[in-house]
């Protein structure tokens, strides 16, 4: 089980929160499809902004989208102009009022999504996959992670037959529910086909009650002098 279940979904309600916070009601399917379109659009539109996750919260007439990124300057733009553009574009997709919050990731080396995408981009740039993986593992362990595991799969080095290779350092206890494990999948599109990069990062153990807010512990990025970024995204402690 520990090898196959997504470590994030396995810990939902224990130490991890949900990326979509809303009540479905009768049009649950429509809202879910809308969420998927928003995430797909933002990931394509902000491909260079090192996006880790997109958290969506809904009220009756407002959609609050929180973007976790290690490069907030690219999204915010000069004086917040880019964010205003983004709001107008998202209004066309959702036909509702949209509010965008941007949270800065201070240590991108400890974020599985950013690490996986970084390795994938290097493989696309014809860097040897072993070198890219080992450099990522070294920088993650240097930043204080308890352990990291990387699985690279596909036609590695353009080989005729696809294979998988795993690299590990430290400990990643997948069966322990209180272990704070971040997981992500990145894809590198090479001339010989797709190469998948899976990353597991163990950040330590979580003891006692934890606030399940998906924006927990992140610092909000604000453009100079612009006050159009409201709502810290934090919620009260759940019991």
Interval 139-165 mean pLDDT: 95
Per residue in 38-91, pLDDT (tens digit) is: 999 999 999 888 999 999 999 888 999 999 999 988 888 887 788 888 988 898
Query: Which pLDDT score is estimated for 216?
Result: 57
How far apart are the C-alpha atoms of 184 and 115, rounded to whole Å?
Answer: 9
Q: Which residue has the tokens 């733009």?
A: 77
Query: Which pLDDT score is estimated for 225?
Result: 40
Least confident range of 113-117, 135-139, 175-179, 218-222 = 218-222
Interval 22-45 mean pLDDT: 91
Which strand (E) or helix (H) includes residue 8?
Answer: helix 7-10
Least confident range of 41-45, 80-84, 140-144, 187-191 = 80-84
Could you write out the DSSP letters of every residue in 118-186?
A: HHHHHHHTT--HHHHHHHHHHHHHHTT-SEEEEEEEESGGG-SS-EEEEEEEE---TT-TTEEEEEEEE
Task: Quickly state the pLDDT bin for 215 (edges 50, 70, 90).
Answer: low
Interval 187-201 mean pLDDT: 95
Query: Which pLDDT score is estimated for 218?
Result: 60
Higher pLDDT, 224 or 156: 156
The single-letter DSSP state of residue 16 is: B
Task: Quickly state the pLDDT bin for 212 (edges 50, 70, 90).
Answer: confident
Query: Which pLDDT score is estimated for 227?
Result: 37
Alpha helices in 65-127 (DSSP H): 72-76, 81-94, 112-124
Do 219 and 104 contact (CB within 8 A), yes or no? yes
- Longest alpha-carbon distance in the chain: 56
Among 54, 145, 46, which residue's Cα sits nearest to residue 103? Answer: 54
The pTM score is 0.84
Quote helix, strand, coil % in the chain, to nearest 5.
35, 30, 35
């Amino acid at each position: 089980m520990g090898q196959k279940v997504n470590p994030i979904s396995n810990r939902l309600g224990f130490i991890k929160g949900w990326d979509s916070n809303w009540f479905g009601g009768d049009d649950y399917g429509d809202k879910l499809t809308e969420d998927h379109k928003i995430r797909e659009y933002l990931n394509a539109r902000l491909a260079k902004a090192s996006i880790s996750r997109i958290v969506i919260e809904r009220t009756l007439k407002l959609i609050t989208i929180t973007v976790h990124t290690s490069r907030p300057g690219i999204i915010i733009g000069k004086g917040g102009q880019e964010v205003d553009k983004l709001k107008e574009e998202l209004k066309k997709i959702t036909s509702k009022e949209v509010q965008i919050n941007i949270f800065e990731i201070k240590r991108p080396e400890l974020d599985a999504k950013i690490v996986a995408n970084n390795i994938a981009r290097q493989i696309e740039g014809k860097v040897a996959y072993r070198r890219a993986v080992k450099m990522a593992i070294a920088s993650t362990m240097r930043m204080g992670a308890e352990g990291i595991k990387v699985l690279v799969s596909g036609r590695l080095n353009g080989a005729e037959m696809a294979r998988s290779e795993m690299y590990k350092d430290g400990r990643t206890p997948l069966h322990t529910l209180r272990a704070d494990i971040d997981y992500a999948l990145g894809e590198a599109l090479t001339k010989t086909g797709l190469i998948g990069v899976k990353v597991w990062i163990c950040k330590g153990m979580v003891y006692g009650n934890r606030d399940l807010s998906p924006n927990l512990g992140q610092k909000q990025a604000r453009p100079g002098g612009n006050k159009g970024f409201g709502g810290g995204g934090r919620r009260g402690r759940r019991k």
